[in-house]
């Protein structure tokens, strides 16, 4: 296990190998960089698949993710995938705090209202989200989860998936959601458009995780 680092750096790890996805994550967290604040770095896991569609992909990235954490000191780590792959193993690999973006987004949604919705990348994402919600004891507060069933490449395009994302967000609100979680980091650049269209708060998970990580590294001492 790597010792806790005194560095205020926050390392965000994209566990898929998509450079464009990492660029979208970097853009989403850019507003949290400020003079005198923690360094926020986004790393791409080279060993990862282009996207994490299945449980097999989820398990595939756990060991290389832990190795990256062990050799890269940071004050806090963020696993930037909507399925929080390997978060428990990662926490056992370092004494610094490790945040999963999905759990962070759920915490933010639960703080904003009684019920929330989730837009998932694919059907296979839903059982992984359900496992996280059960671990948090918040499964009863899920109003709806709507899968997109598109590729990461489609999701990363500026406009192609946007109308469907808005439709999914509206379905969550119609089911009683007071906020909507983007269940994949590839959706980050659509956040503002979805929120404007559906009239409810839309939570981008990497941003939610950075808020918690900043509290952890700035609150020391």
pLDDT in tens, 103-131: 999 999 999 999 999 999 999 999 999 99
For residue 152, the SS3 value is helix
**Confidence check: pLDDT of 167 > 60:** yes
Of 3-17, 44-58, 65-79, 197-211, least confident by mean pLDDT is 3-17
pLDDT at 3 over 70: no
Q: Give the Cβ contact number of residue 36 at 10 Å.
A: 5
The length of the chain, given as a count of residues: 221
Query: Which two structure tokens, joined as six digits, stand for 135?
Result: 């671990």
Delineate the domains of the chain, giving CATH numbers in brackets. Answer: 10-100+207-218 (3.40.50.1860), 102-204 (3.40.50.1860)
Q: Tell me if the pTM is above 0.85.
A: yes
Mean pLDDT computed over 148-158: 88
User: In which residue are the tokens 């969550």 written?
Assistant: 172
Tokens of 71: 């050799």
Q: Which strand ranges, in their side-by-side order, compose the sheet holding 201-203?
A: 142-147, 116-120, 179-182, 201-203
């Amino acid at each position: 296990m790597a010792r806790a680092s005194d560095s205020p750096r926050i390392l965000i790890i994209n566990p898929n190998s998509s450079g464009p996805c990492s660029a979208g994550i970097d853009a989403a967290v850019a507003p949290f960089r400020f003079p005198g604040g923690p360094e926020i770095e986004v790393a791409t896991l080279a060993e990862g698949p282009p996207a994490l569609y299945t449980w097999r992909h989820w398990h595939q990235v756990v060991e290389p993710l832990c190795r990256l954490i062990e050799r890269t000191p940071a004050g806090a780590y963020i696993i930037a995938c909507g399925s929080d792959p390997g978060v428990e193993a990662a926490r056992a690999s370092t004494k610094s705090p490790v945040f999963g973006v999905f759990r962070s987004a759920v915490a933010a949604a639960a703080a904003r209202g009684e019920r929330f919705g989730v837009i998932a990348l694919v059907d296979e994402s839903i059982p992984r989200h359900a496992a996280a919600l059960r671990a948090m004891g918040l499964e009863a507060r899920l109003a709806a989860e709507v899968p997109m069933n598109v590729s990461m490449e489609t999701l990363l395009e500026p406009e192609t998936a946007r109308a469907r994302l808005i439709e999914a967000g509206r379905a969550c609100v119609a089911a009683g959601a007071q906020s909507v979680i983007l269940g994949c980091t590839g959706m980050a650049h659509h956040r503002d458009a979805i929120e404007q269209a559906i009239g409810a708060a839309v939570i981008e998970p990497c941003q939610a995780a950075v808020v918690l990580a900043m509290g952890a590294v700035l609150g020391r001492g």
